[in-house]
Homo-oligomer: A and B are copies of this chain.
Amino acid sequence: MRVAFLGLGRMGTPMAKRLAGAFEVSVYNRDRAKAEPFGALGARVTGSVREAVAGAELVVTMLADDAAEEALAFGSGGLLETLAAGAIHVATSTIGVATSDRLAAAHAAAGQGYVAAPVFGRPPAAEAGQLWILAAGPEAQVAACQPVFAALGQGVFPLGEKASTAHALKLAGNTLLVTVLEALSEAFAFGEKAGIAPETTLKVLNTALLKSPLAEAYGGAVVRGAFEPAGFALRLGLKDVSLALQAAEAFQAPLPIGSLLRDRLLAATAKGYGHQDLAALSRMSREAAGLEA
């Protein structure tokens, strides 16, 4: 199978490497320097979307946000113009529901396929082919993606024919992740004022109650104050929660915790913490409790 991979950032790079070992792969990245190393892996390094997708049956995108995905799809020389009829755009980026709907409609009108396939898992999981994949789109198109999914992930959750459903659930998941982080942060500040060290609060609550590796990972980063360099930048967390809230408004399904998170993340960004790791959200709870940074 011939696969094009567009977007070689922190997640895209290890994902593309997995695919390069299994398929005939071409890669493209706006900053070509990140693409060059793929030549040594047997992939075709290209200088444009058009060149990358020529002859590809599947085109996987992993981009930073809606603006990047839209530019790459709708822009001049973009996927809508260059993708072959019958080829499938597999959007693994975390994008908004409205953008995903717009992509689905445009690709369908152009005789192209579109599958939404956002993933859960961080770069090491991507490297190990251990992502979890949320897949939605026309059944035959999703089926055509299975070999790629098998190379990338440890499991696929099929979510039906409407592609944007997968992005909706991904956004709900990221909101849940930020919720856990905020809840732990509040508990840490509360505990600290009660005389309990944050590492103790984390150990007790996660050993005796939550038992979640996610809480361990993010709570641990908070306890260590490991805010830079960012694994998952706080401003990206703000982007995802905002996208979830936009979808919530369209669906008429309020997310009150999500609203609270958005305001916290926004304040953190206004204070200059946007480039730090999401774990820096904990600074807001500390400051609100009058604790030193």
Contacts and interface: CB of A to CB of B under 8 A. Distances in A.
A290 interface: yes
Contacts of A184: 176
Contact of A214 (B200, B201, B210): B210
Given A262-B259, A266-B249, A169 B191 contact: yes
Interface stretch (A20-28, A30-38, A158-166, A226-234): A158-166
Nearest to A132: B208
Interface in A156-201: 157, 159-160, 162, 164-165, 168-169, 172-173, 175-177, 179-180, 182-184, 186-187, 189-196, 200-201
Given A196-B169, A263-B254, A214 B209 contact: yes
Interface string A247-261: 111011111111110
A256 B229 CA distance: 28
A244 B189 CA distance: 13
A71 interface: no
Contacts of A201: 169, 172
Q: What interface size band does chain A fall in?
A: 35 or more
A47 interface: no
Q: Identify the interface centre among A121, A159, A177: most chain B CB within 10 Å of its CB.
A: A159
A267 B193 CA distance: 13
B213 A211 contact: yes
Given A212-B210, A260-B259, A290-B271, A97 B194 contact: yes
